Each structure stands twice: as C-alpha cells, then as structure tokens.
Amino acid sequence: MKKAVLWDFGGVILSSPFEAFNRYEADHGLPPDFIRSVNATNPHDNAWAKLERGEISPRDFDQAFADESAALGNRVPGADVLALLSGEIRPKMVALLDRVKAAGFKVACLTNNVVTAESPAGPISKRAADLAAVMARFDDIVESSKVGVRKPEPRFYEVACERLGVAPDECVFLDDLGINLKPAAQMGMTTIKVISEQQAIEDLVAVLWPT
C-alpha cells in the first residue's frame, strides 16, 4: 500500500532546466546537450556533484565547471550554468500535488540543489513568493546541499524514507532523470520518469487510483 509520494522539483514541479541549457548552447555555438555531457562526465565527483553536496561554493563551482567543460572542448563558466537553472512552475503538477496531499498521502520534495547567497532584506519577488507557496505544501524537503548526499546516492533516498517514517515500497517517486530513478526502484520504490506534465499526471493517477 502506498503511503507517500516523493517529488523532484526542477523538471517535475518546475519546467526542465535542460530547455534553458539547449537555448544557451544554440546561442553560444555549442553542441546540443554539451552542458549535460559535462555533468555526466565523472558524475559522482565532478564540480556539479560537489556543489550539490555542499562541498564547494558557487564561486569555486564557476571555475571548476569552466575547467571541466574546457577539457571536453568548450569552456563554459559555471556561473552561466547556475543562471540557467530557474524553471517555470507547472500549475497542473501543483494541482496534482494538492490532490495527492488531500487524499492523505505524505508528500516530500527530493531535490539536488545548491547553496546560494543570502538574499538581501526587503520585499521578495513574486516568483520567490510563488515558489515558497509551493514548497510549503510539502511535509518535508530533502535537500542535497543540507543532508550532504545527493541523488542518485542510495543514502539520499534512505534519509527521505526515515524522515517520513515510510518504507521504500510504500513510496512513489517522480523524477525527470532515469539515473535518479534507478536506485530508488532497486530499493523498492515505484518510480515514474517525468517526460511531460500530462504523462506524469496520468502515470501517477494510474498508480494511486487504479481503475
């Protein structure tokens, strides 16, 4: 019996940053999916992995990613990549999150994220307020930069289950990256690869409320 639904944030609740990566690549004469190829090289110990675990600062990442991308043929400043990460909120996914929570399932956000500089005091932007309203819906938020491990490291999923008080086979996990879903499935979670908003909605509804 399912008790919890675990949600990736970027690429699930938000539109995928890969779209922004591809626009950047086209604008700068880079091969398609080049940025993703840098992130996929030495994926557990590269600059991106270290940043998401909170082991290096954004400033250090700027130089480290530039060095790694240059070694693969095209120098891309890490700061440029970080600027591309903000996606747009998907209203239908937020509505689905609300439906799932109202039905009594525990809901948690499982996100690989990075430590950012503190925002100056003062009025927050509408986007920040909208994001905060979405995040407030979750029973728990498991952030790689705070727990010191990241997807797809198995410990990350163990932490999520421990904090929610559920077993892996009681969870459904949505993510847009197969590499993040594989270890979760091996632990016993039901996994859904998010390819499109509508597909993800249909797949989750079929799991939670089979006809």
Say what the pLDDT of residue 79 is: 95
| Whole-structure pTM value | 0.86
Residue of 83, 82, 88 lying closest to 13 (CA atoms): 88
The pLDDT tens digits for 9-63 are 999 999 999 989 999 999 999 999 999 999 999 999 999 999 999 999 999 999 9
CA 103 – CA 119 distance, rounded (Å): 36
CA 94 – CA 148 distance, rounded (Å): 27
Say what the pLDDT of residue 114 is: 84
Say what the pLDDT of residue 129 is: 93
Say what the pLDDT of residue 49 is: 96
All domains of the chain in start order, with CATH: 4-16+87-208 (3.40.50.1000), 17-82 (1.10.150)
Strands 106-111 and 171-175: unpaired
Say what the pLDDT of residue 119 is: 47
The pLDDT tens digits for 93-142 are 999 999 999 999 999 999 999 876 544 455 678 888 999 999 999 999 99
Which residue(s) pair with 7 in the sheet? 109, 174
- Lookup: tokens for 90: 């998907």
Give yes or no for residue 147 having a pLDDT over 90: yes
Say what the pLDDT of residue 123 is: 64
The pLDDT tens digits for 154-170 are 999 999 999 999 999 99
Omega before 154 within 30 of 0, i.e. cis: no
